[in-house]
Structure 1
Amino acid sequence: MGGIASSIPLIARPSFDRACSFVPSEYVQAWEWFLREEQRDELWKNLPHRTNADSPQYGYRLTIDSELFPVSRDSGIFWPGRGRVKHPREKTFALSVHNSKRGAYPDVPPLYLEDGTWVFKYSSQSTTAEGGRNQNYNQKMINCMECGVPVGVFFATSAGYKVLGLAFVERYEPENSWFVLHGPFIRVDLTRASSPI
């Protein structure tokens, strides 16, 4: 991954309020959307950005200032571009991830733990993906890991996309090209325990 270290120290007590201090306000509104959709617990036939106006789910898409705001894109790791959101100059963060229904990456289904949390091994972006364009998707995930910034998680099933909610990027495993995501992140302060995986 081009020199990205896997031994970046994790935030000891990540919290929603702390994470909000690192990101544009649109991210916070998108996080609230992910939390609502997690509670609604309905499958999306398509990812929100591919949901047409004639779909019953169209009304559940995120709106900010009366305009639809994307929370997903075709690329598995998504961040809203600088033309849409004013990102901090120092770091840009991933907003969401989704696995592929086509199996282009070896993502592993979420593992549900006894404490009610889940762990999802999510493949890092291939350097040859997206027609060779380098948008530093992996670095945006590393930035989330460094700063305790959560990402929204969609999991593709044969019936549609399930919104798992928000998760922390707990670690990067370069030997497997996996990010380990641990969720659910909840609105109140959350102490992150290391996962057994």
Structure 2
Amino acid sequence: MNDIDLAVPLMDGPSYDRACSLVPSEYVEAWEWFLGEEQRGGVWTSLPHHTKEDSPQYQYRLRIGSDFFPVTRDSGIFWPGQDRVKQDPNKIFALSVHNSKKSFYTDVPPLYLDDGTWVIKYSVQASGTVGFRDQNYNRKMLNCMECGVPVGVIFATEVGYKVL
């Protein structure tokens, strides 16, 4: 993984319990949803936030309480807004990333490692992209790297979106 920015200080010995202590409870519920969806192995025909009621995947959307809770949005790097989740405004974490079937970014499929884990190369939000808004998308991802906070991944394939 030579492409990882070595200037980003990575957490030494991250743990799930430590990550859970750093984020709102909604993130933990979302991580459990990501794990469950990965284990279910289904393919989403569209991203969860675009899934319609007549889609077979509709029943699998994340609900917290009785409300639908988004895990994605159109921009590739997603975090819930302050109106949905209360977070320290100085340290907001990304919840998920996704790539697109039609993208000008150089995202590549996951690399599966011998220990059963995987890594992906994910492009940063480029300021030259159409519709770019300076919302510090990349900073949210860097916060995750620095603090050892997991990020859900939805990867576009030829047939749909796979949750990792």
TM-score (norm 1): 0.78
Task: Name the SS for the 2:154 alignment partner.
Answer: strand
The correspondence of residues 8-157 of structure 1 with structure 2, limited to 5 A, is 8-129=8-129, 131-157=131-157
Percent of counterpart pairs with the same letter? 68
Contact 1:45 1:160 in 2 (8 A): yes
Shift of 1:115: 2.0
Shift of 1:128: 2.8
User: What is the aligned-residue RMSD (CA, Å)?
Assistant: 1.3
Structure 1 residues 97-124: Cα deviation after superposition (integer angstroms, max 9, x where no partner): 0111102211111111222221210000
Letter in 2 for 1:148: G
Structure 1 residues 17-62: Cα deviation after superposition (integer angstroms, max 9, x where no partner): 1001111111111001001001101101111000001111111000
Letter in 2 for 1:27: Y
**CA–CA distance in 1 between the matches of 2:77 and 2:161?**
15
Higher strand share: 1
**CA–CA distance in 1 between the matches of 2:151 and 2:77?**
9
Runs (5+) with no aligned partner, structure 1: 165-197
Structure 2 equivalent of residue 176 of structure 1? none
Task: Name the SS for the 1:89 alignment partner.
Answer: coil
TM-score (norm 2): 0.92
Task: Name the SS for the 1:154 alignment partner.
Answer: strand
Contact 1:24 1:88 in 2 (8 A): no
Pick closer, same or farther for the CA change 1:128–1:81 going to 2, 3 Å. Answer: farther
**CA–CA distance in 1 between the matches of 2:126 and 2:13?**
31
**CA–CA distance in 1 between the matches of 2:21 and 2:130?**
31
**CA–CA distance in 2 between the matches of 1:128 and 1:24?**
32
**CA–CA distance in 2 between the matches of 1:47 and 1:24?**
23
Shift of 1:140: 0.3
Pick closer, same or farther for the CA change 1:103–1:132 going to 2, 3 Å. Answer: closer
Following TM superposition, the consecutive aligned residue runs of length 4 or more in structure 1 with deviations greater than 6 angstroms are none
Letter in 1 for 2:27: Y
Runs (5+) with no aligned partner, structure 2: none
State how many pairs are aligned.
160
